[in-house]
Chains A and B, each alone.
Chain A
Amino acid sequence: MRPPGVIPPGMDAPDPPAAPDADPVPDADPDAVDADTGEGELERTIGLTGGLAIGIGTMIGAGIFVFPGLAAENAGPAASLSFAIGAVVALLVALPASELATAMPRSGGGYFFISRGLGTAPGAIVGLGLWLGLVFASAFYLVGLGSYAGQVFLEAGIALPVNPAVPLGVAFGVGLTALSLFGTENTASLQNGIVIVLLVILTLFLSYGGLDALGVFGAERTPERFFPPGGLLPVLQTAALVFASYLGFAQVATVAGDIKEPSRNLPLAMVASVLVVGVFYVATIFVATSAFGSARLGEFGETAMVEVAREFVGFPGAIAIVVAGLLATFSSANASILSASRAVYAVSRDDLIPSAASRLNLQYGTPHVALGLAGGPIVVLAATGQVELLAEVASFLHLVMYGLICVALIQLRREQPDWYAPSFRCPAGFAVAGAGALASFALIAFMQPASIGVGAAVMIASYGWYRYYAADVELKGDF
């Protein structure tokens, strides 16, 4: 009997994957995950398309369907620059994260890299921070989702006595959590479909709007002054706010254990999904700000894009964007809830929180405790309806993790421990990681004081929990 998972030396050498699609063939990597357990192997079922769908599907909801109004109000047309800055920061982190993910293709993503590379204390701060960061992000997406669901009533001409965004967001939060507890449907293919529909709608809309804005169809629209009155400062502050639109790429790393041919697919999925959404974001702001003045966009709030579409294409355009907005925020919220539960699993596996948190329900095969720990606080936070605060706290907690991912890369490249054998190497590793770390931490400085306060409080509480509960856990280099 061959003990499953014993790999002969050399099998995990970073050979460039030969035939991308012919892969019922067992390649070296699946075994790398199972080494030394004797308790079964893990099938890798997510290909490049699936990875891209996770990245794009998680991200695209926020940047296009929630932020344009808020961002334009703060930074005017230069909000597109804010989105571009976000994309650069995300790319600077995505490359080091890719290298680490191919060296440690495990569930848990950034938390795993940091706890193994830098030690338990930073690991605990990031791990618990990631869980709560995703909780904040999910709540933020849910409020966005609620806004679009409310817009449906508006378009249908049904007047509601109160703004339905928050109650609807809360209802969706409860529904999605229940769905993930009991649902065994194929959520991945659903996600792929949603992303494709979204990209088609957005491409059509943005091409039309872009051409129109450039004066191809009618009178050229006069763009307002590019920079807002405050100069560069509001642009950077907006970049910090809208960075929540880029949180999704690291989600790809949290399912690293499921990705086929991780050495090829992980870096590709992370970098490409950032590039794709970055381009869409910048184009969206350009189109939006050429349709309306920034102040006007700000008044429209979360559903500003619906008005932009109405301006260009009339009622059908508005409907298309409402549908797209529903799909996008739904998929972002759903992906984040699932990631939050995986984050809970990751810290519980390492005994940073009681192991009961990662119990699976045999009947449904779902981690019910972890999902509850994700869904509960998400619903509570969504009920606050504080879009900007939720987004910034989510960004804060993620940025801390991103910065530390870069630090972990530098640390690991210096120490060169035996187990560190990434099959993808970040080009100009030290420079990219250094810049990524600086940029991540710098962006935090431009957030509102309230967001920084809440984020810092979460970090301190996480550290306190670590000292109280898990001070004797040693994770550095632990496999």
Chain B
Amino acid sequence: MTDPRTPTDEEQPPTDGGEAPTDEEQPPTDRPTVLVPLEVLEGESLPNGTPDLLANAHVVLLGYHVLPEQTATEQAREQFGETAMSKLGEFAGALEAVGATVEKRLVFTHDKQTTVDRLIYEYDCLAVLVPNSAERVESVLVAVRGTVSVDRIARLVAGLFAGTGTAVTLYHVLGEGETDADVETLLNGVRSKLVERGMDEDAVEILIEGTEAPVDAIAGHGEAHDAVIMGETNPSVTTFIFGMPAEQVAERFLGPVLVVQRERPDATDASAE
């Protein structure tokens, strides 16, 4: 695994090893790093259920505020920085209370995406949360697209839910030229990775289906679950017009969606040399 860490981040616990000084009895390995972006000043708060979902995660809690380009970010920080920081502190408290390790970042920006991308790199985040509320976290739908991110999905799912009793359903939409057998092999592979990482074999189910519209299907199935985990999609013309599938799913499903990020290219360079 690459460990893209910049010298600035010496206090930040690496995803695989090390521990945040703030925390007590968590095992020192394999806390998946999850980015939780919240638009703090627009009244966005930590949705219900988020602490339960991320209790075993290393949370990068990003409070952000988007400003129109005619406004200097400095100006907003001066006026709103303190308020935003204290709100962020409250949310961090709620997460820490259930055992998550938390790092707070507050950013004033002209472009949300730039900020989110920067922090994904900076912390090598395994997933980004689309924050929606959930009443409880008892079962989770995991959409597996292909072999590409399987390792990262397994690290996230096992990291979050191993030993919690949360039920996991691995789901795949049959593509052209794929047979049930192929896909079963794929999903069974994921299952054994999860079991290797400490999940209870009985807690993992498998669901395969052929359908025209994966986004609708995922959102539809999601309704029977409390949260959805899915992969990131490369931006394309379709995603430009209709939005990223993960966002579409989040809009219809209305519950929390964890978007597993691609492996980012090594990010050590710029400041390291």
A pairs with B = yes
A42 and B8 in contact (CB under 8 A), knowing A18-B269, A25-B269, A366-B71? no
Judging by beta carbons under 8 Å apart, are A24 and B118 in contact? yes
Judging by beta carbons under 8 Å apart, are A186 and B69 in contact? yes
- Interface size class for chain A? 35 or more
Once A and B bind, how many residue pairs between them come within 8 Å at the CB atom? 154
- Number of chain B residues close to chain A: CB under 8 A: 52
Judging by beta carbons under 8 Å apart, are B120 and A41 in contact? no
Within 8 A of B (CB), among A327-354: 338, 341-342, 345, 349
Q: Does A106 contact B (CB under 8 A)?
A: yes
Q: Which residues of B contact A15 (CB under 8 A)?
A: 273
Q: Does B82 contact A (CB under 8 A)?
A: yes
Judging by beta carbons under 8 Å apart, are A39 and B81 in contact? yes
A360 and B71 in contact (CB under 8 A), knowing A26-B270, A40-B77, A42-B77? yes
Q: Which residues of A contact B108 (CB under 8 A)?
A: 40-43
Q: Please encode chain B, from 30 to 62, with 1 for each CB lying within 8 Å of some chain A CB and 0 for all others.
A: 000000000001000000000000000000000
Judging by beta carbons under 8 Å apart, are B72 and A26 in contact? no
A362 and B80 in contact (CB under 8 A), knowing A15-B273, A187-B69, A338-B70? yes
Judging by beta carbons under 8 Å apart, are B8 and A40 in contact? no
Within 8 A of A (CB), among B233-273: 265, 267, 269-271, 273
Q: Does B206 contact A (CB under 8 A)?
A: no
Q: Does B184 contact A (CB under 8 A)?
A: no
Judging by beta carbons under 8 Å apart, are B111 and A1 in contact? no
Judging by beta carbons under 8 Å apart, are B106 and A4 in contact? yes
Q: Which residues of B contact A43 (CB under 8 A)?
A: 73, 107-111, 114-115, 118
Judging by beta carbons under 8 Å apart, are A40 and B106 in contact? yes
Closest-by-CB residue of B relative to A2 is: B11
Q: Please encode chain B, from 85 to 127, with 1 for each CB lying within 8 Å of some chain A CB and 0 for all others.
A: 1000000000000000011111111110011011011100000
Judging by beta carbons under 8 Å apart, are A38 and B270 in contact? no
A26 and B118 in contact (CB under 8 A), knowing A8-B8, A31-B8? yes
Distance of A17 Cα from B73 Cα, bound (Å): 23
A residues with a Cβ closer than 8 A to B are 1-2, 4, 7-8, 11, 15, 17-19, 22-28, 31, 33, 37-43, 45-46, 106-107, 180, 183-188, 255, 257-258, 338, 341-342, 345, 349, 358-360, 362, 364-367, 371
B residues with a Cβ closer than 8 A to A are 6-9, 11-12, 22, 41, 63, 65-82, 84-85, 102-111, 114-115, 117-118, 120-122, 265, 267, 269-271, 273
